[in-house]
Amino acid sequence: MTDLPDLDSLALLVAVGELGSLGQAARAAGIAQPSASKRIAVLERRLGVPLLDRSPRGSALTEQGRLVAGWADQVLGSARELMRGVAALRQSRAAALTVASSLTIAESLIPRWLHDLHEERPSLRVGLTVVNSTEVAQAVLAGEAEVGFVEGPGTPRDLARRVVARDRLAVVVAPDHPWARRRSPLRAAELAATSLVVREKGSGTRDTLERALRGLPAARPAAELGANSAVKGAAAAGIAPAVLSGLAVEAELAAGRLAEVPVIGLDLHRALRMVWPRGRRLIGPAADLLRIALRGSGT
């Protein structure tokens, strides 16, 4: 591929054929005639064929030069088509952003971030898909979303990642649950041995909880539900204690619909991350969204 001629030299050759002389082609290209002559000479050496007849009266294309100029014109046309296509892609990319997000981030943080992004880019169209963290990673890897937001402690190696916020899981119960009146914090082993209302497999919240309780004898879940609202409703109804993001239960705790149970001997903190395909540099709206998320979290 290193033997390919540069496009400027091909354009100069085509101009010689169209304008009738090297001097006129040089003037049209905005370069001195000696520079144009040198460029054509380099092109001749690279291609291995004579392109110009040089005489005291001027320079004109050889028969081979006319053939090469015709092919060069086709190459230049294809190059222009390439650039028009890339410009269209760039414009389309600048006008739309596809995002996949886990449920907690989508409910608690994404609305504010997208509001700020809209303030900067009023014409931007954002497509948001809300799924669990495992499915977010799959969507980004499959090209179905340009960027994603996940809650889980682990992400595939093929994804680049950046921490955009911090969170912790909270153990919550109905206000009349016995745990709500505990005088001492709940211990990790006691939590693990309790049937809990939890999120579905694949959610970042479930993954964080299971990693925190790893190695402890664990009871079967009382219920596995696919939405934070359903988990909160089950806990508030007294079905069983639940473990959810602190972000997800802020309103219920403030209103007294749920009570938080302190836990000791267990690290329930986690990082919330933005992910995108490894090796791809974030540009345009995707880079703006990352900057806004980082600004909001102070990370």
Mean pLDDT of 140-162: 90
Angstrom distance (rounded) from CA 22 to CA 16: 5
CATH code, domain carrying 100: 3.40.190.10
Burial class, 274, CB count within 10 angstroms (exposed 0-12 / middle 13-18 / buried 19+): buried
- DSSP character for 131? -
Same domain, 181 and 243: yes
Same domain, 201 and 61: no
Domain membership of residue 122 (yes or no) is: yes
Contact 16, 52 (CB under 8 A): yes
Asked which of 65, 93, 121 is the last residue of a domain, the reply is: 93
Domain count, the chain: 3
Which two structure tokens, joined as six digits, stand for 290?
């990352």
Max avg pLDDT among 13-22, 50-59, 210-219: 210-219
Q: Which residue has the tokens 């009349």?
A: 176
Domain membership of residue 1 (yes or no) is: no
Q: In this structure, what is the dihedral angle of CA atoms 29, 34, 37, 41, given to the nearest 10 degrees?
A: -130
Same domain, 188 and 262: yes
Asked which of 49, 73, 93 is the last residue of a domain, the reply is: 93
Angstrom distance (rounded) from CA 60 to CA 92: 44
Same domain, 171 and 249: yes
Q: Residue 146: its pLDDT value, please?
A: 94
Task: Give, in degrees to the nearest 5, the angle at Cα 201 between 196 and 203.
Answer: 95
Segment 48-95, tens digit of pLDDT: 889 888 777 777 888 898 999 889 889 888 888 888 777 656 655 555
Same domain, 16 and 35: yes
Mean pLDDT of 16-25: 85
Same domain, 155 and 220: no
Q: Name the helix (H) or strand (E) containing 242.
A: strand 242-245
Domain membership of residue 203 (yes or no) is: yes
Mean pLDDT of 106-132: 92
Full residue range of the structural domain in which residue 20 is found: 7-93
CATH code, domain carrying 64: 1.10.10.10
Q: If pLDDT is split at 50, 70 and 90, which confidence band does 21 have?
A: confident
Domain membership of residue 72 (yes or no) is: yes
- Select from 172, 237, 177, 216 the least CA-distant residue to 198: 172
Same domain, 186 and 259: yes
Domain membership of residue 2 (yes or no) is: no
Q: Residue 34: its pLDDT value, please?
A: 87
Q: How far is CA 258 from the centre of its chain?
A: 35
Same domain, 148 and 289: yes
- DSSP character for 15? H
Query: What rounded mean pLDDT belongs to the chain?
Result: 89
Q: If pLDDT is split at 50, 70 and 90, which confidence band does 1 have?
A: very low
Same domain, 253 and 280: no
